[in-house]
Structure 1
Amino acid sequence: MRAVVLDEFGPAGNLRFADFPDPRPEPGWATVRLRASALNWHDVLVRQGRYHSPLPHVLGADGAGVRVDTGEEVVIVPSLWWGEDDSAPGASWEILGDHRPGTYAELVRVPVECVVPKPAGLSWPQAAALPLVGLTTYRALFTRGRLRAGESALVLGAGGGVATMAVSLAVGIGASVAVTSSSVGKIESARGLGAGGGVLYTEPDWPQAARELSPGGRGFDLVLDSVGTWQESIRALRPGGRLVVLGASRAQEARIDVRHFYFGQFDLLGTTMGGPRDFAGLLELLTSRRVAPPVIDRVFPLDQADQAHQYLERGGGFGKIVLTQD
């Protein structure tokens, strides 16, 4: 098969379109002929060597296509062997594309429990863009964050795939949402998804400006932080609010005022990805509520994955970047 192959960790230019061995059939596994694959920031970290993937390697966690043995149109759940404990993944858990070949290819092999029917009404790029950010965001907002209709949420970083999905899912269940961004244009785009407004995190006192967008100005019930700015995020919460952390794109260490934290009765919740029951909950929400499909920012052909990575790293887009195959 043809695939995007990484021979050496490093910059996007190290990705090359080349031949790669076909996945071999095996009981308990399904082979999918991919129609589209979506990029995630996680792929950049894999490419840089953060997860010590074997080389040569094929990146990619997200994909949608046709199951070879049945002809069924499917999406791939990239969370492998989560385990039976919903509170946290088990010892065998891994993300597709970390240590076994991923979705930047014509074919991919995954455990049979990791293929589910493609949701009706989604295009191939939308279907490919759904699994990782949909699963991650559903778990962050609802399984961990306990967000309910009538509550309020602040989503940090309006342009990324998780952020756009978070706005859509939260609005879909009847929560009010605000966002942060470095771009007025991205805030306006988030309004188009249903956000009530947003603030520029480049402003020196953005947490207070964000609080003013919350109901009654008392702070948000939940802040979704994928960037690692805990101290500022806590300032945007109401007393008793929940800070849900699922990333560290701007800071890998955080300092907080411990007394302020416990007197504020805040919850600090860490989360990443999710398991099969989280994904089932996501699909049920998509069918029972009016939720916007994944936002697609730009589509590249599979053989231009290096250019797609460069575009992702520039950070100017709004929504997901997808690789497609004719």
Structure 2
Amino acid sequence: MKAITITQESEPIQLTDMDKPEVSSDECLVKISAAALNRRDQWIREGMYPGIQFGTVLGSDGCGVVEVGPAEWKGKEVIINPNVNWGNNPEVQSSDYSVLGMPTNGTLAEYIKVPVHSLQKKPSHLSNEEAAALPLAGLTAFRAAIKKGGAKPGKRVLVTGAGGGVSQFAIAFAIASGAEVYVTSGSVEKIEKVKKMGVKAGFNYKEEKWFKEAGQYDAIIDSAGGNQLNNYLKIVKPAGRIVMYGSTTGHPEKVDVFRLFWSQAQIMGSTMGNDDEFVEMIECVNKYQIKPTVDQVYELEDYLNAFDRFKAPDHFGKIVVRF
């Protein structure tokens, strides 16, 4: 089979030939129809991800058809839960937790073997490419916006970095919950695009005093970190929540601790979500007919351009590789 693996070549990601996986009785063999890229795939490509294991198939998101497995799954269109060993505590992942695509072979291959419990039926309103864009980003956003952020009717929610895949899912889930949703972005064009999803307004974080126009929020869902944290503390409501699922701009130089404790605010960490939340996320997608935003779709042989597109600052939504 063809697979995109991480190597020690001058171009670290290569399309290689591998043996088709052999499955045990509690596993399924899924023929991949489409797989989506995530930021971690690009970090692995750049050598910026811990514990890189050369020869591993990349990719955490996938949609396909079960070729080998129990009778009730055989021939079914599925999406794959990327969690590996979440563990028994629903609040936090286990010490040996990982996601597909490192160190376990991932979805950027013609075939993948996964445990039966990792399968969910593909939402019927989604194309293969849309379904492939859902798992990792959708689960991360669902936990951050709904479970940690508490988005629901009567709440004001600010989602930062509106161009990102997780951010767009957070926007969609928060709107579906009945919350009033606002965004930040460094692009006016991206703000206008998410307004079409139902976002009330957006603010350009490149403007120094953007937070003065933003009002106050019950929850702020953020992946950037960095020095914007103190601006979030200025606009989070008393006893509000700042949910952080990433740190793309690094650590803040300082934190306004006085404002933090005086406001009774909570800064909450969030990453991925447990297996039950994956099921809940799919149910939410089905109930509200949520569709991922797909930026571009590439054929497998064009995988390098797919990765390069991911790096482009104007990309909006998920990058998908079709098999």
TM-score interval, normalised by the smaller of the two chains: over 0.9
Residue number in structure 1 paired with 2:12: 14
Shift of residue 9, structure 1, vs aligned partner: 7.7
SS, match of residue 21 in structure 2: coil
The runs of 5 or more residues in structure 1 that have no matched partner are: 212-218
- Tell me if 1:144 matches 2:148: yes
- 1:254/1:99 CA distance change after superposition, 3 Å: farther
How do 1:119-134 residues align onto structure 2 when only pairs under 5 Å count?
Answer: 119-134=123-138
Amino acid at match of 2:38: N
Shift of residue 131, structure 1, vs aligned partner: 0.5
How big is the alpha-carbon RMSD for the aligned residues of Structure 1 and Structure 2? 1.5
The runs of 5 or more residues in structure 2 that have no matched partner are: 69-73
Q: Distance in 1 between matches of 2:266 and 2:303?
A: 39
Q: Which runs of 4+ in 1 moved over 6 A?
A: none
Q: Distance in 2 between matches of 1:91 and 1:19?
A: 32
- Tell me if 1:200 matches 2:199: no
Amino acid at match of 1:297: D
Q: Distance in 2 between matches of 1:222 and 1:243?
A: 6
- Tell me if 1:227 matches 2:227: no
Residue number in structure 2 paired with 1:43: 41
SS, match of residue 196 in structure 2: helix
Residue number in structure 2 paired with 1:191: 195
SS, match of residue 207 in structure 2: coil
Aligned equivalent of 2:173, options 169, 172, 179: 169
Asked if structure 1 preserves the Cα contact closer than 8 Å seen for 2:233 and 2:259, the reply is no
Residue number in structure 2 paired with 1:324: 322
Amino acid at match of 1:272: T
Q: Distance in 2 between matches of 1:280 and 1:315?
A: 32
- 1:291/1:230 CA distance change after superposition, 3 Å: farther
Residue number in structure 1 paired with 2:238: 239
Shift of residue 260, structure 1, vs aligned partner: 1.0
Mean alpha-carbon deviation: is it higher for 269-278 or for 251-260?
251-260
Q: Distance in 1 between matches of 2:320 and 2:247?
A: 23
Amino acid at match of 2:240: G
Amino acid at match of 1:28: D
Residue number in structure 2 paired with 1:82: 86
Q: Distance in 2 between matches of 1:210 and 1:111?
A: 45
Identity %: 34
Asked if structure 1 preserves the Cα contact closer than 8 Å seen for 2:146 and 2:174, the reply is no
Q: Distance in 2 between matches of 1:232 and 1:41?
A: 25
Residue number in structure 2 paired with 1:52: 51
Asked if structure 2 preserves the Cα contact closer than 8 Å seen for 1:241 and 1:267, the reply is yes
Amino acid at match of 2:8: E
Amino acid at match of 1:256: V
Mean alpha-carbon deviation: is it higher for 138-147 or for 126-135?
138-147
Residue number in structure 1 paired with 2:71: none
Residue number in structure 2 paired with 1:256: 255
Amino acid at match of 1:8: Q
Residue number in structure 1 paired with 2:3: 3
SS, match of residue 310 in structure 1: helix
Deviation digits for residues 153-182 of structure 1, max 9, x if unmatched?
111111110111111111111111111111
Mean alpha-carbon deviation: is it higher for 136-145 or for 264-273?
136-145
Aligned length: 315
Shift of residue 254, structure 1, vs aligned partner: 5.3
- Tell me if 1:278 matches 2:277: yes
- 1:275/1:19 CA distance change after superposition, 3 Å: same
TM-score by length of 2: 0.94
Amino acid at match of 1:81: N
SS, match of residue 131 in structure 2: helix
Shift of residue 4, structure 1, vs aligned partner: 1.3
